[in-house]
Amino acid sequence: MAYERKNIEAMAAYIPGEQIDSPDIIKLNTNENPYPPSPMVNKALADCDVARLRQYPPPTAQNLQEAIAKKHGLNRDNVIVTNGGDELLRMAIATFAEASESIAVARPTYTLYKVLAAAHGCTLTSFELNENWEQPENYASLLNDSGAKMCFLVNPHAPSGTLTPIDRIAELADAFNGVLLLDEAYIDFVDPDVAYDSAQLLKDFDNLLILRTFSKGYSLAGLRMAYGLANPSLISPLMKTKDSYNTDLISQALALAAIEDQQYALKTWNKVRQERQHVTASLRQAGYIVPDSQSNFVLASVPDNQSAEDIYLALKKKGILVRYFKNEDRLDDKLRITIGTPEDNQRLLDALAAIQS
Ligand SMILES: Cc1ncc(COP(=O)(O)O)c(C=O)c1O
């Protein structure tokens, strides 16, 4: 006897990247920040008073909401704090899409979108990105013609790492009739010279919902903290569908310490950007095709005469994990490689050279 709803029975679960916790493994497969969180996070943890856990936490993480609003030049009612970005994605679907309505994406993209849409009973409509990983020219018309209620756009794009310019985001938000969920999980790694700032678009577009996370930029993937930025007209309904106490007291304190130490975070982002350049150049020299990434990972097409799966397995044997998307359209000749510390990256590059020779 199957008790689950028909759509749950029919759907496949999300497959996370392998999580192996061993000092002998170089983990370049799930786009974590290779540097530890700010020392201020350690201090905040040490300062946590266990006696306070007797009480429920502030329901909207007010102190953190305020710090986030300040960082982005917004107000508290523009911010919702969530238990990871994945929770915000799930809540956004539950809030803005009826079951049976359609959510649009440009493929390939973050594979969780499909899973969350299916769990809610929504259909996923997908449009193929062009060879430069750009959305179709007339994307807004395609979205509107398809009747999509929401569009999920990840920027920088995952898994290619490429960035859609801010003007293009503004055009899309303007022309699309539904909610544009702009997933900026990797935005902290964008070069500052690009001057990308989507928060300033919120004054013009009431259908824009921006996702940010502490998982990547602030080295806190284990904490499960993220937030959404939008006009109050989108934030208020989201507040209705969140769990009453969706983030815990300790996580609120640690995330606050992290966001208040921008100087430390900036240093890790800069180191990742520098290494991204080095890894990209070295892979290209070794015959891989690598688009310019603005993220903390690169997507490398393996040289013509080689198999991405074989290289993935050979690296794994040497204790180096990268991400291989088996049977994914356009990705099965590619490896997605997280930018690690200079030492980890060098071990990866040396291992690739040894495998190739
Ligand atoms: C594109 C994208 N969006 C959102 C997330 C969610 O991140 P988290 O739930 O850790 O905040 C991830 C995590 O890998 C991601 O790759």
Instruction: Look at residue 17 in the predicted model and tell me its pLDDT.
Output: 79
Neighbours of 314 (CB within 10 A): 16
Q: How far is CA 328 from CA 103, 109, 159, 299, in A?
A: 20, 10, 11, 14
Separation of alpha carbons 221 and 232, rounded Å: 27
- Averaged pLDDT of the chain: 96
Letter string b/e over residues 273-299, b meaning 16 or more CB atoms within 10 A of that residue's CB: bebbeebbebbeeeebebbebbbbbbb
Q: Mean pLDDT throughout 13-23?
A: 83
User: What is the pLDDT averaged over residues 53-60?
Assistant: 98
* Per-residue pLDDT tens over the stretch 243-263: 999 999 999 999 999 999 999
Query: With 90 as the cut, is the pLDDT of residue 235 above it?
Result: yes
Give the rounded percent of residues in the chain with a pLDDT score beyond 70: 100
- pLDDT for the residue 2: 84
Pocket of ligand 1 contains residue 173 by CB under 6 Å: no
Could you tell me if the CB of 85 is within 6 A of ligand 1? Answer: yes
Identify the residue whose C-alpha is closest to ligand 1 atom 13: 185
Cα 90 to middle of ligand 1, angstroms = 12
Which residue type sits at 353? A
Cα 86 to middle of ligand 1, angstroms: 6
Q: pLDDT-derived band of residue 20, with 50, 70 and 90 as boundaries?
A: confident
Mean pLDDT of 218-242: 98
Q: Which residues pair with 208 in a beta bridge?
A: 180
- In degrees and rounded to multiples of 5, residue 319 shows phi and psi of 85, 20
Work out whether strand 123-128 and strand 102-107 pair parallel, antiparallel, or are unpaired.
Answer: parallel
- Tell me, what's the pLDDT at 258? 98
Nearest atom in ligand 1 to the alpha carbon of residue 216 is: 10
Class of the domain covering 39-261: alpha beta
pLDDT tops 80 at residue 72 = yes
pLDDT digits over 119-138, tens only? 999 999 999 999 999 999 99
Q: Is the CB of 221 under 6 A from ligand 1?
A: yes
Pairing of strands 102-107, 150-154: parallel
Atom of ligand 1 nearest to the CA of 158: 1
The pLDDT tens digits for 148-202 are 999 999 999 999 999 999 999 999 999 999 999 999 999 999 999 999 999 999 9
> Domain 6-36+263-356 - what CATH class?
alpha beta
- SS3 label, residue 104: strand
First-residue to last-residue Cα distance in the chain: 55
Residue 192, pLDDT score:
96
Q: Check if 156 has its Cβ closer than 6 Å to any atom of ligand 1.
A: no
Q: Cβ(163)–Cβ(155) under 8 Å? A: yes
Closest Cα to atom 3 of ligand 1: 185
Residue 24 scores a pLDDT above 90: no
CA proximity to 31, closest of 85, 93, 89? 85
Mean pLDDT of 349-355: 96
Cα 97 to Cα 134: distance, rounded to the nearest angstrom: 25
Does residue 21 have a pLDDT over 80?
no
What is the tens place of the pLDDT at every residue in 306-344? 999 999 999 999 999 999 998 888 999 999 999 999 999
Q: Distance, CA 51 to ligand 1 centroid (Å)?
A: 32
Count the neighbouring beta carbons within 10 Å of the beta carbon of residue 202. 20
35 — phi, psi (to 5°)?
Answer: -105, 155
Mutate to test the pocket of ligand 1, among 111, 210, 216, 218 (most ligand atoms within 8 A of CB): 216
Q: Check if 6-36+263-356 and 39-261 are the same fold.
A: no
Centre of ligand 1 from the C-alpha of residue 2, in Å = 31
| Cα 152 to averaged position of ligand 1 atoms, centre (Å) | 13
Q: Of 61, 56, 68, nearest to 253 (Cα)?
A: 61
Q: How far is the CA of 135 from the centre of ligand 1 (A)?
A: 20
Per-residue pLDDT reduced to its tens digit, 195-204: 999 999 999 9
**Cβ(64) to ligand 1 under 6 A?**
no
Q: Find out whether the beta carbon of 185 lies less than 6 Å from any atom of ligand 1.
A: yes
**What is the distance between the alpha carbons of residues 211 and 227, in angstroms, rounded to a whole number?**
6
CA-to-CA distance for 246 and 234, rounded, in angstroms?
A: 18
Domain residue extents for the chain:
6-36+263-356, 39-261
- For β-strands 226-229 and 297-301, DSSP reports them as unpaired
Query: CA torsion angle for 275, 277, 278, 284 (degrees, to 10)?
Result: 140
Ligand 1 atom closest to Cα of residue 87: 9
For ligand 1, say whether the CB of 84 is within 6 Å of any of its atoms. yes
State pLDDT tens for residues 92-112: 999 999 998 999 999 999 999
Ligand 1 atom with least separation from CA of 86: 9
213 lines ligand 1 (CB under 6 A): yes
Atom of ligand 1 nearest to the CA of 214: 11
Q: Which residues share a beta bridge with 336?
A: 299, 323
Q: What is the pLDDT of residue 70?
A: 98
Q: How far apart are CA 221 and CA 5, in angstroms?
A: 31
Tell me how far the alpha carbon of residue 223 lies from the centroid of ligand 1, in angstroms.
13
